[in-house]
């Protein structure tokens, strides 16, 4: 009788350990997939354009490859034009990224032109814009804080760079192929 009880206890313990390892493996795989997000600039919607302030909504398409809906809790992203810091975009407004799908993510960008665009830099930027948009590079570097079920990732990296020409050229037939993925897997 004692032997059966010991075997039963060992069996239950092994079952619990197997269950925990299985759940851990599932969440680890989904976390890996969440880190393999893809994104692309979808649209820029101008809101305000004065000499004191430039405001726009930047809308991104983000592909969430995991099986879990992700909630973006907050973000802080530095924006650079031709390696010159322009602004930091940040928010604590929650956004939902659907599981195994593409979601639109909107960031409100506010720029103080007087602080950012020095006269000589602005002349060079306008000259580049008029002559060759591929000479203007836009870079976004920062972090997102996301939550899936009971797991929170506080530092999901963003590092996106593209030319203004590429950002303004959208081919509807290949738009999904233009999503930028940090790593192939």
Among the listed residues 172, 157, 131, the one whose alpha carbon sits nearest the alpha carbon of residue 43 = 172
| Residue 84 lies inside a defined structural domain of this protein | yes
Cβ-Cβ contacts under 8 Å for 67 (sequence gap 6 or more): 30, 33, 99, 100
The whole-number pLDDT of residue 124 equals 65
Taking only the tens place, the pLDDT of each residue in 58-84 is: 888 888 888 888 888 898 999 888 888
Kindly tell me if the per-residue pLDDT of 143 is higher than 50: yes
CATH number of the domain at 57, please: 2.60.40.1820
Residue 79 forms part of a structural domain: yes
Per the CB < 8 A criterion, the answer to whether 64 and 97 are in contact is: yes
R_g of the chain computed on alpha carbons: 23
In a domain, residue 14? The reply is no
Number of structural domains the chain divides into? 1
pLDDT the model gives residue 78? 92
Looking at 53-57, 84-88, 138-142, 153-157, which range is the least confident one? 153-157
Domain contains 27:
no
State how far the Cα of 49 lies from the Cα of 59, in Å rounded to an integer. Answer: 18
Q: Is residue 22 part of a domain?
A: no
Range of the domain at 66: 36-170
**Domain contains 178:** no
Asked, for residue 180, whether it belongs to a domain, the answer is no
Tokens 């305000």 belong to which residue? 48
Rounded mean pLDDT, 129-148? 79
CA angle 29, 183, 70 (to 5 degrees): 50
Does this model's pTM top 0.85? My answer is: no
Tens-place pLDDT, residues 1-39: 677 788 888 888 888 999 888 888 877 787 777 777 777
| Residue at 182 is within a domain | no
Span 78-133, pLDDT tens digits: 988 888 888 899 888 888 989 888 899 888 888 887 777 665 566 666 666 666 66
Give the number of other CB atoms < 10 A from CB of residue 75.
20
């Amino acid at each position: 009788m004692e032997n059966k009880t010991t075997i039963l206890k060992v069996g239950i313990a092994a079952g619990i350990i197997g269950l925990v390892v299985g759940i851990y493996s599932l969440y680890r795989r989904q976390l890996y997939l969440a880190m393999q997000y893809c994104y692309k600039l979808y649209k820029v919607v101008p809101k305000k354009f004065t000499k004191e302030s430039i405001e726009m909504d930047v809308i991104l398409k983000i592909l969430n490859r995991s099986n879990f809906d992700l909630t973006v809790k907050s973000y802080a992203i530095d924006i650079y034009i031709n390696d010159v810091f322009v602004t930091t975009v940040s928010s604590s407004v929650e956004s939902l990224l659907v599981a195994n799908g593409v979601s639109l993510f909107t960031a409100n960008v506010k720029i103080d032109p007087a602080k950012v665009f020095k006269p000589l830099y602005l002349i060079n930027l306008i000259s580049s814009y008029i002559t060759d948009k591929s000479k203007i590079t836009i870079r976004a570097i920062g972090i997102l804080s996301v939550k899936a079920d009971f797991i929170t990732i506080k530092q999901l990296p963003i590092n996106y760079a593209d030319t203004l020409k590429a950002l303004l050229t959208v081919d509807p037939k290949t738009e999904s192929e233009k999503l930028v993925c940090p790593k192939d897997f």
